[in-house]
């Protein structure tokens, strides 16, 4: 058996180990928030936003941000059907309803026209999820938000490094949320970040994030309301600080890996990959290939061939509307149909060129088995 090719794996150097050891040895008492605050500062600077709160996950950041926007029972939140469930679950936990709309066939992100058509008097927000690092059409979405007075939330969990016409993903909406799960471009093991430029919303989330204790509350152990506990630990933040010092390198390597795949695969008939339209930068979290319908290539065939090569083959997200706990939405044709002929490619930072070649050879074999006009 050839050695396994993993799809993601963090890039951890001496720097992360040094900071984590320091946090374990010294990050207590009056230093117990030192790495957390530094991590938040570094993140704000990188993103170009005014406020950031480190959290235990992206899901937690979304949950608190949505709660702070007042999303509550009976409300609707519009999002793309193609996504990880983490974006939908906070909506459900708040008693609101996720409304799943179709994606665009080229970016695999929310179709703004479909989002606009789904707006009702109960719509409280639209979530822009920058899938696999690909960017949503933020100009259109922000214009729709403006027109109807509806906030646009950015789930940028997969989009660190992505830039929309000079603005970083996560910095353009009412608030943004990031994930530092072990599979993401920047990791703290588990972790996340809430970011915003809205001072009022930031204060609201800060209070919620501290079990409902307002910053100016002088009484000790006196919550003013029922809040949340989604904090990041100083130990995790220490790793985050090291990763932030290496952020350009981490993003650069992801982009390099996508570029290598693109160079080897994009000339092939019937294959498309993550787009990078003019004026944008794709953070390239997850290089992905989609075969054209005429090729007859299926997810199952791809998974079989990758397994034979001992390479991880991560399936393209199932439409959330196909899951048992949600109602099916048969008109979301792209969300329903693209995953059946797509696959995520291994892209961990230290992947070797020989491993990329092994993956490309699997795909090239498929491409030689059909002809698309
Ligand atoms: C990873 C991911 C999340 C969840 O992140 P956690 O930190 O695991 O909560 C949310 N949304 C998207 C699009 C993701 O890829």
| Domain containing residue 195: CATH number | 3.40.640.10
pTM of the predicted structure, to 2 decimals: 0.97
Q: Is the CB of 181 under 6 A from ligand 1?
A: yes
Q: How far apart are the CA of 31 and the centre of ligand 1, in A? A: 29
Per-residue pLDDT for 4 more than 80?
yes
pLDDT band at residue 372 using 50, 70 and 90 as cut-offs: confident
Q: Do residues 226 and 261 both lie within one domain?
A: no
Pocket flag, ligand 1, residue 343 (CB < 6 Å): no
- Residue 191 Cα, ligand 1 centroid: separation in angstroms? 10
In the predicted model, what is the mean pLDDT of residues 309-334? 96
Q: Ligand 1 center to residue 195 CA distance, Å?
A: 15
Cβ(179) – ligand 1 distance below 6 Å: yes
Assigned domain for 8 exists: no
Domain match, 234 and 277 both? no
Chain mean position to CA 227: 25
The answer, yes or no, to whether residue 267 has pLDDT greater than 90, is no
pLDDT at 241 > cutoff 80: yes
Name the band, by pLDDT with cuts 50, 70 and 90, for residue 371. Answer: confident
Task: Write the DSSP string, 330-363.
Answer: TT-HHHHHGGGGEEEPP--TT--HHHHHHHHHHH
| Cα(47) to centroid(ligand 1), Å | 18
The answer to the question of residue 79 being in a domain is yes
Assess whether 210 and 271 both reside in one domain: no
Residue 181 in 3-state DSSP? strand
Are 23 and 167 part of one and the same domain?
A: yes
Q: State in Å: Cα 148 to ligand 1 middle.
A: 27
- The parent domain of residue 329 ranges over 247-367
Q: Which residue's C-alpha comes closest to atom 10 of ligand 1?
A: 86
pLDDT-based confidence at residue 37 (cuts at 50, 70, 90): very high
- Atom of ligand 1 lying closest to residue 59 CA: 9
Task: Quote the mean pLDDT of the chain.
Answer: 97
Question: For 293-315, what is each residue's pLDDT tens digit?
Answer: 999 999 999 999 999 999 998 99
The average pLDDT across 51-64 equals 98
pLDDT score recorded for residue 368? 87
pLDDT band at 1 (very low <50, low <70, confident <90, very high): confident
Assess whether 241 and 254 both reside in one domain.
Answer: no
Domain count, the chain: 2
């Amino acid at each position: 058996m050839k050695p396994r090719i993993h799809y993601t794996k963090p890039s951890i150097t001496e720097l992360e180990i040094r900071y984590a050891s320091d946090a374990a040895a010294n990050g207590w008492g009056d230093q117990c928030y030192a790495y957390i605050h530094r991590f938040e500062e570094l993140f704000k600077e990188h993103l170009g936003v005014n406020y950031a709160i480190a959290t235990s996950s992206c899901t937690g950041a979304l949950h608190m941000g949505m709660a702070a926007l007042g999303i509550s029972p009976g409300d609707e939140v519009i999002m793309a059907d193609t996504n990880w469930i983490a974006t939908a679950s906070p909506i459900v936990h708040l008693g609101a309803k996720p409304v799943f709309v179709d994606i665009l066939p080229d970016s695999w992100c929310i179709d703004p026209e479909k989002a606009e058509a789904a707006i009702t008097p109960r719509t409280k927000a639209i979530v822009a999820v920058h899938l696999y690092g690909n960017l949503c059409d933020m100009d259109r979405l922000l214009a729709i938000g403006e027109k109807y007075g509806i906030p646009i939330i950015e789930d940028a969990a997969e989009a660190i490094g992505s830039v929309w016409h000079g603005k970083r993903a996560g910095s353009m909406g009412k608030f943004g949320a990031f994930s530092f799960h072990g599979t993401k471009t920047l990791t703290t093991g588990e972790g996340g970040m809430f970011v915003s430029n809205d001072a009022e919303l930031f204060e609201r989330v800060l209070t919620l994030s501290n079990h409902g204790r307002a910053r100016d509350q002088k009484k000790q152990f006196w919550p003013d309301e029922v809040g949340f506990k989604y904090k990041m630990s100083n130990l995790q933040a220490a790793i985050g600080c090291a990763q932030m010092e290496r952020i350009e390198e981490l993003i650069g390597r992801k982009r390099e890996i996508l570029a290598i795949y693109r160079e080897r695969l994009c000339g092939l008939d019937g294959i498309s990959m993550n787009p990078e339209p003019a004026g944008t930068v794709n953070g390239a979290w997850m290089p992905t290939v989609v075969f054209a319908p005429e090729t007859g290539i299926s997810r199952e065939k791809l998974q079989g061939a990758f397994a034979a090569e001992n390479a991880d083959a991560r399936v393209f997200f199932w439409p959330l509307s196909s899951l048992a706990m949600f109602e099916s939405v048969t008109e979301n044709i792209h969300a329903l149909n693209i995953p059946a002929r797509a696959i995520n490619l291994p892209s961990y930072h230290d992947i070797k060129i020989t491993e990329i070649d092994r993956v490309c050879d699997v795909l090239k074999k498929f491409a030689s088995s059909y002809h698309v006009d």
